[in-house]
Amino acid sequence: MLAKIFKLRRGRCIGLLIVANYFSAWLGLSIVNALRASQEVDLYNALRVSAMLIGLTYVFTLVLEWPFIAFCFGRNPGWFSRSLKASLLIQTLSYLLLFSGFWLVSGKSLYSDFAIVTAENLKLPDGVGVYFISSADGNVYRRSREAGPDLVASLSATNVSDFLCFQKSKTGANKWDLVAVLDLRRHPEESVVISEGIVSNSTDALWMTQEYRGWGTAPQIGSATNSTWHFSWGHWPTVGMYGKDNTTGQRIRVAFGNPVIQWPMWRAIHLPDDMVLFQLGWDQLCLLDVKKRTISLWDRGHGPVALESGRGMSNQEIHGTQ
């Protein structure tokens, strides 16, 4: 476009603008990443921060690639004013094409298909307790609809990949302990026992939670085992979490990812009343009400597990525990 519209040498324009694109991508993204790191980005401001950062990338492109466009004009008369016009024109046209392409493939259903509400307007179902590692201090807490957060154990976990799971107890038959797996270690003897015998069931096997990668199926807790909805997740932002009602065939997807902010989904747990607790990114524990199509930021933490108060877990729940 630059060569054709402004009657310049095509080879010179192509060569210089290839270098310009690499240069602006390297330096511009470094600046954008630094700005993003300085922002407290969460469920409630991600759209605003995304718009700001995308706008800044356009400005950075105009500024950083202009010298290369000026070189394309050489010593032609009026090179300065013409290069400014050329930069504005070709960057605007290319950005419209790029933005349209990224918009088509970006995960945006988190905001387009659901209403974002405060935690006060969307709470856990009655009788459900959730254990998680807090992002604030790395310790293990328990929360329910009625109470919490209550400190369960001082852990001081420092890795966002640390998680909680259930492990067959060595102290009693048909008992499972709540344990923390730290530093991506996978051997049971290296797990930290948080609470002994927290689950009682005759099941002989327990599916240990896997690391943060790949695909997963949401376990169904308590009365959720009777639900017609089933949920799974993939940790790629454009895949996110997805569910299907096996009776009506209705489907939903919760995903968010764009060129400047990308949040994978992890560790979804299907709760009673067709609510789903899931980890958004590395430290946002979110609650989804499927019927009302609402989502809230429930707490800041990672690696959650859930139990229905006053009972052990069913065979299906234990094999699905994440």
pLDDT at 100: 86
Which pLDDT value is given to residue 213? 57
Q: What is the pLDDT of residue 309?
A: 66
Distance from C-alpha of 321 to C-alpha of 220, rounded to nearest angstrom:
8
Q: What is the model's pLDDT at position 190?
A: 63
Q: What is the pLDDT of residue 210?
A: 46
Instruction: Compute the average pLDDT of residues 169-195.
Output: 73
- Is residue 204 pLDDT above 70, yes or no? no
Can you tell me the mean pLDDT for 101-120? 91
At 112 the pLDDT is: 93
* Residue that wins the pLDDT comparison between 6 and 146: 6
> What are the C-alpha distances in Å from 210 to residues 59, 184, 193, 311?
42, 9, 17, 25
Taking residues 51-71, report their average pLDDT.
Answer: 91
Nearest to 173 by CA among 194, 197, 207: 197
Long-range contacts for 223-227 (Cβ within 8 Å, ≥24 apart)? Answer: 223/272, 223/273, 223/308, 224/270, 224/271, 224/272, 224/274, 225/314, 225/316, 225/317, 227/270, 227/274
pLDDT of residue 248: 95
pLDDT at 205: 32
Task: Give me the chain's average pLDDT, please.
Answer: 85
Q: Is the pLDDT of residue 160 over 90?
A: no
The helix or strand, by DSSP H or E, that contains position 273, with its residue range, turns out to be none
What tens digit of pLDDT does each residue of 30-59 get?
888 888 777 789 999 999 998 988 888 899
Q: pLDDT tier at 62 (50, 70, 90 boundaries)?
A: very high
* DSSP string computed for 177-188: EEEEE-TT---G
pLDDT at site 292: 96
pTM above 0.95, yes or no: no
Q: Which residues of 141-176 are buried (b: 16+ CB within 10 A; e: fewer)?
A: bbbbeeeebeebbebebeebbbbbbbbbbeeeeebb
Residue 24 CA to residue 67 CA, distance in Å, equals 11
Q: Which two tokens stand for residue 233?
A: 């997740």
pLDDT exceeds 70 at position 310: no
Between CA 122 and CA 317 the distance in angstroms is: 24
In the numeric block, the tokens 């789903």 are attached to 276
With H, G, I as helix, E, B as strand and everything else as coil, classify residue 45.
coil
Among the listed ranges 11-20, 118-127, 202-211, 264-273, which one has the minimum average pLDDT value?
202-211
